[in-house]
Amino acid sequence: MRRREFLGLAGGAVAWPLVVRAQQTAMPVIGIVGAGSRSGFDDLLTEFRLGLKEFGYVEGQTVAFDYAFAAGRFDQLSQLASDLVRRRVAVIISTGVGSGLAAKSASSNIPHVFLSQDDPVKLGFVESLNRPGGNRTGISLLTAELAAKRVELARQLMPKGALLAYLMNPPAPEASRYLQEIEAITRALKQELIVLKGSNPEQIDVALAEVARRRAGALIISIDGYFFSRREQIITLAARDKIPAIYDRRGYAAAGGLVSYGADLAGAYRQIGAYAARILKGEKPADLPVVQPTKFELVVNLRTAKTIGIEFPAQALALADEVIE
């Protein structure tokens, strides 16, 4: 079992030795809470470490981490965040809306750096983007613009008049808003849409089988940390049934997914690492403006395109930031 992915089977005892060692050496501890799995964030955590290192913080030497990943169990996030507060971590990092809301409820004092796929002002994380106020700051992603681009990509890849499928994870707090965005875009385009739900491996199997049964022309995977932790399952099923699938981050395409379009998450996590380091050095979250991404990545996996028999549009290839051959 991955350490602390599942809440409380050992009452948090697994994490205590790390925290005790950190306290014995006066090493600050950063708590990281997320709805997905630890394995789904390994690459991004590498970027987070780079952001910290720029300010002299190295995991295991000058700073320790306390991981609290829910592995798709959104109902566990509040307890996971509360556990981090109880262990008096120096900074909390949240990796999505659900974990951000849990961290917000758990403490109004411990500095909190978030990555939010929804408006952090509307969520009550900050007072404004430029002047956050309180104990929180972080990164705010622009999901509505990204949704429109993914729908555009899907329509380029599928036969005219074909059905478009969308896979969502209902327990995620932001899932309903993402769905509203997709529905508004497809309605304006008069594009027929079917919505499928998957909150565990079995439901994902059923959903992908339904995409194939309905002969959907393409599939869009919702932005969701849990889905990314299940990327091998989703990519394998899509390839098996030759379904063109569009994802939100480069990691899918690197793992064999057909195409991804989204914000530069590597850069976002380096920024989060830099903010965490600046806070450890004494700066206040209230004085660090919320950052929005300026770089977006279109990644195309031509190997997968050949495998499923898709000829990728030349126009899209010309715009790709990375082509995997």
Could you report the per-residue pLDDT of 213-271, keeping only the tens digit for each? 999 999 999 998 889 989 999 999 999 999 999 999 999 999 999 999 998 999 999 99
User: What is the pLDDT at residue 293?
Assistant: 87
Q: Is 198 domain-assigned?
A: yes
Of 102 and 325, which is predicted with more confidence? 102
Number of domains comprising the chain: 2
Q: Is 86 domain-assigned?
A: yes
Check whether residue 300 and residue 157 sit in a common domain: yes
CATH number of domain containing 28: 3.40.50.2300
* 315 vs 205: CA distance, rounded Å: 33
Check whether residue 176 and residue 308 sit in a common domain: yes
Check whether residue 45 and residue 120 sit in a common domain: yes
Q: Which residues, 6+ apart, have CB-to-CB distance to 226 below 8 Å?
A: 35, 36, 37, 40, 71, 72, 169, 172, 199
Could you report the per-residue pLDDT of 140-170, keeping only the tens digit for each? 987 767 899 999 999 999 999 999 999 999 9
Residue 303 DSSP SS3: helix
Confidence of residue 21 (pLDDT cuts 50, 70, 90): very low
User: What is the pLDDT at residue 24?
Assistant: 45
Question: Average pLDDT, stretch 26-39?
Answer: 91
Position 22 pLDDT exceeds 70: no
* Structural domain boundaries enclosing 40: 16-141+264-287
For the chain, counts of helices (H) and of strands (E): 13, 12
Q: Identify any residues that bridge with 194 across adjacent strands, giving them in sequence order.
A: 165
Check whether residue 303 and residue 191 sit in a common domain: yes
Of 41 and 191, which is predicted with more confidence? 191
User: What is the pLDDT at residue 144?
Assistant: 67
C-alpha distance from residue 213 to each of 207, 210, 239 (Å):
10, 5, 14
Q: Is 7 domain-assigned?
A: no
Of 68 and 37, which is predicted with more confidence? 68
Check whether residue 148 and residue 113 sit in a common domain: no
Q: What is the dihedral of CA 299, 303, 309, 314, to 10 degrees?
A: 50
